[in-house]
Amino acid sequence: MRNSAFMDSCQLMRKETKMHLNQKQLATRWNVGDATLERWQESTAKRLQSR
């Protein structure tokens, strides 16, 4: 990958990280269901609480 192409992809990733997606948009982007995201969120919250 040429350096300029790499820089372009980095800029695109930074721009995307500034976007705020709701749960439905995130599920669509990751190609998973809303319920799957909820399960991930619950299991992550439980792990963080147990620390």
CB 34 within 8 A of CB 24: yes
pLDDT of 12 above 80: no
- pLDDT, one tens digit per residue, over 28-46 is 888 989 888 888 888 888 8
Is 48 domain-assigned? yes
Is 1 domain-assigned? no
**pTM (two decimals):** 0.48
Using pLDDT thresholds of 50, 70 and 90, give the confidence band for residue 13.
Answer: low
Is 24 domain-assigned? yes
Is 32 domain-assigned? yes
pLDDT of 1 above 50: no
Tokens of 51: 């620390």
- Which residue reads 């990751």 in tokens? 30
